Amino acid sequence: MHDFHYVGQELYCEDRSISSLAAEFGTPLYVYSQQTFTRHYQALDQAMAGVDHAVSYSVKSNSNLAVLRLLRDLGSGFDIVSEGELQRVIAAGGSPSDCLFAGVGKTANEIEFALKRGIYCFNVESEPELDRINRIAGQLGVTAPVAVRVNPNVEAKTHAKITTGTYENKFGIAFEEVEAVYQRAGALEHLKPIGIQMHIGSQLTQVEPFEKAVRKVAPLIEKLAQQYPFEFFSIGGGLGIIYQPALESGASEWWESEKARDLLTPQRYAESLAPLLKPLGLRIFLEPGRFIAGNAGVLVTRVEYVKQTGDKNFVIVDAAMNDLIRPAFYEAYHEIVPIHAKSEGITSSDVVGPVCESGDAFCQDRPLPAMQEGDYLGLMSAGAYSMVMASNYNSRGFPAEVLVNGSQAEVVRARQPLEQLLQGERVPSWMT
Ligand SMILES: *Cc1c(COP(=O)(O)O)cnc(C)c1O
């Protein structure tokens, strides 16, 4: 994350001091680095240069319009999971013909919308979904491009809530049933099977599960590609990132650091998978989300109170689980750093939000310098699965988002005004 670095005692995002952004735009505040998104996209794209491939950025990881526009300009396509995400891609200037539509529960309206807009392909997750897409395509007088999401039943060795490629999960079609499902798809009048897809999980830090899954499905793909007009194999997303330490000294990317010696890097990913993928002769889609966005953001929060209870030291901040739910939801680790560097009075501290839940804590018993009201803290690596999961719990408005590019910084999502929270609600007639 070298776009986030200290200049003297001040933490900067690219060429902007984060304290000054927090003072100008208020907190809680998501601050994103355009350079990080860009370099991480390019690192993966370049690592795979030896294979005919395309990157389909996973919109759900960070769907801000500015981020989507940036990725479109870099040449990315998109992996979407709802009509809302497709609307976002279109609003950002992206083309539906560069979109893969994933998800286990596509509604009839979503399918119709995507077909009318010319979606590149539906990644189908069940037989009833095939029937539904076929029926709607028939009604519209079009042929729907489909791929089946194969569940290869391999253990991704990641957190249970982000494992998707075993039969314990709701995702995809069991490996043994895939051939029969293609036969069914091939027989349906308004469907055209143009590829195959898999996605085994998220935050994978080793290449072995990917390799295992690709080795397992490759013979099946070769067979199916002879029977159907296959254009692509999408190997999904799932590349993990480093959450700790978030701040590297020196100018290298985390995957060039000592810490990454045993981890999945773009190079290792490409080196292991390219030889297996190339002989298939298909276009390979990659669907990264976290790898591109995860390290590109920080959630900046202001210390409101410091409270000592028994032998606990609570640092109560103005961000909460409604702004960043990953620690509460996945027991996720985010590095927490003072925006104005301090080293005195290191105390084992819990950084907690104001929401009325014991789970509203960003860390427990973590050594932090002595904090005071008005100090800012940064929750690092909050670019993916962070703002997109924000809620209005406790009637708290959504935080603002700022994108930094060199010395430029602009709000790319305004802080939600509290008046908006009541929009659409009303007291029923019988109470008035
Ligand atoms: C969430 C998701 C991704 C992206 O996963 P990351 O771990 O963020 O790379 C890719 N493909 C599908 C189908 C997904 O659901």
User: For residue 416, what is the DSSP state?
Assistant: P
Q: Report how far residue 19's alpha carbon sits from residue 13's, in angstroms, rounded to the nearest whole number.
A: 10
| Residue 83 in contact with ligand 1 by CB distance below 6 A | no
Closest CA to 204 of 234, 175, 173, 162: 162
| Residue 288 in contact with ligand 1 by CB distance below 6 A | yes
Whole-model pTM? 0.97
Q: In order along the chain (432 residues), what is the average pLDDT of each group of 10 residues?
A: 90 98 98 98 98 98 98 98 98 98 97 98 97 98 98 85 80 95 97 97 96 98 98 97 80 82 94 98 98 98 97 97 97 97 94 96 97 98 98 98 98 98 97 93
Handedness of CA 183, 184, 190, 195 (dihedral sign): negative
Report the DSSP pairing between strands 336-338 and 283-286.
unpaired
Containing H/E element for 35? helix 34-47
User: For residue 261, what is the DSSP state?
Assistant: T
Handedness of CA 35, 37, 43, 48 (dihedral sign): negative
| Residue 199 in contact with ligand 1 by CB distance below 6 A | yes
Residues 99, 102, 108, CA angle at the centre, nearest 5°?
A: 95
What pLDDT score was predicted for residue 159? 77
- For 254, other C-beta atoms within 10 Å of its C-beta total 20
CB 237 within 8 A of CB 202: yes
CATH of domain 34-288: 3.20.20.10
Please, where in the chain does CATH 2.40.37.10 lie? 295-422
Please, where in the chain does CATH 3.20.20.10 lie? 34-288
| Residue 201 in contact with ligand 1 by CB distance below 6 A | no
Q: Report how far residue 366's alpha carbon sits from residue 126's, in angstroms, rounded to the nearest whole number.
A: 45
What pLDDT score was predicted for residue 249? 63
Structure tokens at 259: 């810490």
> Going edge to edge, which strands form the sheet with 4-7?
4-7, 10-13, 16-17
CB 182 within 8 A of CB 222: no
* pLDDT tens digits, 183-205: 999 999 999 999 999 999 999 99
Q: Pick the residue whose CA is nearest to atom 10 on ligand 1.
A: 237
Mutate to test the pocket of ligand 1, among 44, 56, 60, 158 (most ligand atoms within 8 A of CB): 60
Q: How far is the CA of 122 from the centre of ligand 1 (A)?
A: 15
CB 327 within 8 A of CB 361: yes
- For 110, other C-beta atoms within 10 Å of its C-beta total 22
What pLDDT score was predicted for residue 222? 98
Q: How far is the CA of 59 from the centre of ligand 1 (A)?
A: 9
**DSSP line for 274-319:** HHHHGGG-SEEEE--SHHHHGGGEEEEEEEEEEEEETTEEEEEES-
What pLDDT score was predicted for residue 157? 77
CATH of domain 295-422: 2.40.37.10
Backbone phi, then psi, for 26, in 5-degree steps?
A: 80, 170
Distances (CA, A) of 40 to 45, 132, 165, 167: 9, 37, 25, 32
| Residue 294 in contact with ligand 1 by CB distance below 6 A | no
What pLDDT score was predicted for residue 104? 94
- For 202, other C-beta atoms within 10 Å of its C-beta total 26
- Index of the ligand 1 atom closest to the CA of residue 61: 8
**DSSP line for 109-142:** HHHHHHHHHT-SEEEE-SHHHHHHHHHHHHHHT-
